[in-house]
Chain A
Amino acid sequence: MSGVKRDWSGKLKRDGPKPAHPAPARNAFTPMFERLRDELDEHHDRRERIVKLSRDITALSKKIIFSLQRVRKIEPQLPKNIQDEVDARLAEIAKLLAALAPEIQGLNRYRYSRSLMCLEELVEALTFAHYLKTQTLIRYEDLCATVEDLTRQGIAAVATSSEDQVMTDAADGPKQADATKPDPPATVSLTQDDYLYGIFDLTGEMMRFATTTLALTGVLAGSESSTSGDEPRTILQDMHDLGSFFEMLPVGGGSRFQWEKKLEVTRQSVQKVERLGYDWIIRGSEKPKGWVPDLSALDQGPPEEDE
């Protein structure tokens, strides 16, 4: 609260906006403006709800990414404790997506796309998890399907929990089920831009992961050399692939400025991993087992307690 406001004669002024103007007098245009106001309010309220959901989804996605950065090795199964953390966050995200879905159908998908930065963050988390398990980049359709599945799980979870809480009388129960059946529930759709910008960010996570794993295990992350027949592939080759992938693509959606900025960050990440690969080859063989390199010059995650 700020100080007390007084008018020129020292009398206390009442709170509230513009006390000098009482409700403007009605005129021929008032009804029209009132109609437009209601429409605009609907839009503003929806955007507010979307922004809130988006913020929560972003925060949870970031937590997933932090958990994933504690992985030390690319392998088909994430360590159980990390998988549990990821699953728990995803379950929360699913519920938020379920709430978000009806707000961004049809016309409204692109109307609010600027308030939906959370989808990029979610793409980053999901593609990173996929990479750590399979060492491949998940395809666009597959990721769309994943997000739609998540939304459906969220809708189901919200439905069951509300059934638990509210004791619906017998007459209401089946009617609701009928009402939802003909229309498949709305899901969240990813745009190609969400996907591409999410992958830009993925390269940063991969760089961090490569740095940490090399520092702590002394091995550049990659496929096990025991994989029969094929040549093993390291994260450095994957980074090179991603780098060329973006260099070869025409400038995508969004603004050119934004695209170039992301591309530049990706280039830097690729080069950081290149340096790691070099260090690993040149010094890796000399280094006594258990020796930990000096990490001060490398970009690395927050200090971690290792098992």
Chain B
Amino acid sequence: MAPMIDPALFEQLKSKIEEDASVRKELDQIIDELNQHVSFTQGILSRVHSTPRSKYAPWLAQVEDGIKKEVETVGKLASFASQYPYYKYNHKWTRTLQDAISTALLCAWLGGLSESTKPGDVGRLLTLEDVGAIFSVPVNLKDRDAFHITIEEYLLGLISVVDDLARLAVNSVTLGDNALAVQISSFIKDLHAGFQVLNLKNDILRKRVDSIKYAVKKVEDVVYDLSLRNLLPQGEGQ
């Protein structure tokens, strides 16, 4: 009579599992590389807290170089990962990719990554589509199974930027750039209102969105301190 387990079945399953393991290994390598570029770029970006706006130009150029490296590695990741079901491995790189998105969003907000704005012309928010264009990968794919940036990744990346900007509001005052604090305040308040438009489920996005209110409070306190002392720039505040 037939054996309990077809010997061919075992070999087939085994080789599939081994293949899966080698895909994971390869992905780990690419993601490691991306991680290095991302944390380096984040490191340069952290100088925003001690750099006056007049000196943004040379510094943002460095940031852009870092982002260029990120873009290259994301390209590598995209072409490798697109051979496999996207959501099978997405969890492996999603955190790193969110951080990469954050660096691009913050750089652009400070006036980088653009021909039309100069460093220091703050306030530009990259859309999901803009971010996709910068990393030259598709976004929010629905019709085919390939690498792309998801809406969640974009929004989570954006929330990290909000936290960074709240910190910058404090430091910009220390640097004597009160106008920047006020601009940050109105940007964060608008974003906060934007996030309230979303219908969130009880997931990671919900948790992170809930944290925005603390950023709002932080910058509002800064603006309040400025207004108390008549330090608001002309034409701003009430």
Binding site for B on A (CB under 8 A): 21, 24-25, 27-30, 32-34, 36-37, 39-41, 44, 106-111, 113, 134-137, 139-140, 192, 196, 223, 227, 230, 233, 237-238, 241-242, 245, 248-253
Instruction: Please measure, in the bound complex, the distance between the C-alpha atom of A252 and the C-alpha atom of B3, giving whole angstroms.
Output: 23
Within 8 A of A (CB), among B1-46: 1-6, 8-10, 12-14, 16-18, 20-21
Which residues of A have CB within 8 Å of B1? 135, 223, 227, 230, 233
Which residues of A have CB within 8 Å of B191? 29
Do A137 and B193 touch across chains, with their CB atoms under 8 A apart? no
* Cβ 8 A contact of B18, one of A36, A111, A140, A250: A250
Residue B195 at the chain A interface, CB threshold 8 Å:
yes
Instruction: Please measure, in the bound complex, the distance between the C-alpha atom of A249 and the C-alpha atom of B11, giving whole angstroms.
Output: 9
Binding site for A on B (CB under 8 A): 1-6, 8-10, 12-14, 16-18, 20-21, 85-88, 125, 127-128, 140-145, 151-152, 154-155, 190-191, 193-201
Which residues of A have CB within 8 Å of B199? 37, 40-41, 44
Instruction: Please measure, in the bound complex, the distance between the C-alpha atom of A192 and the C-alpha atom of B20, giving whole angstroms.
Output: 11
Which residues of B have CB within 8 Å of A108? 87
Known: A37-B197, A110-B87. 5 other contacts (CB 8 A): A33-B194, A137-B5, A139-B8, A233-B4, A241-B3
Instruction: Please measure, in the bound complex, the distance between the C-alpha atom of A248 and the C-alpha atom of B141, giving whole angstroms.
Output: 39
Instruction: Please measure, in the bound complex, the distance between the C-alpha atom of A245 and the C-alpha atom of B6, giving whole angstroms.
Output: 11
* Cβ 8 A contact of A136, one of B3, B10, B12, B87: B3
Which residues of A have CB within 8 Å of B86? 107, 110-111
Do B190 and A28 touch across chains, with their CB atoms under 8 A apart? yes
Instruction: Please measure, in the bound complex, the distance between the C-alpha atom of A85 and the C-alpha atom of B87, giving whole angstroms.
Output: 37
With A25-B193, A249-B10 as known contacts, state yes or no: A135 contacts B4, CB within 8 Å: yes
Residue in B closest to A47 when the chains form the complex, CB atoms:
B201
Do A140 and B13 touch across chains, with their CB atoms under 8 A apart? yes
Residue in B closest to A110 when the chains form the complex, CB atoms:
B87
Do A139 and B6 touch across chains, with their CB atoms under 8 A apart? yes
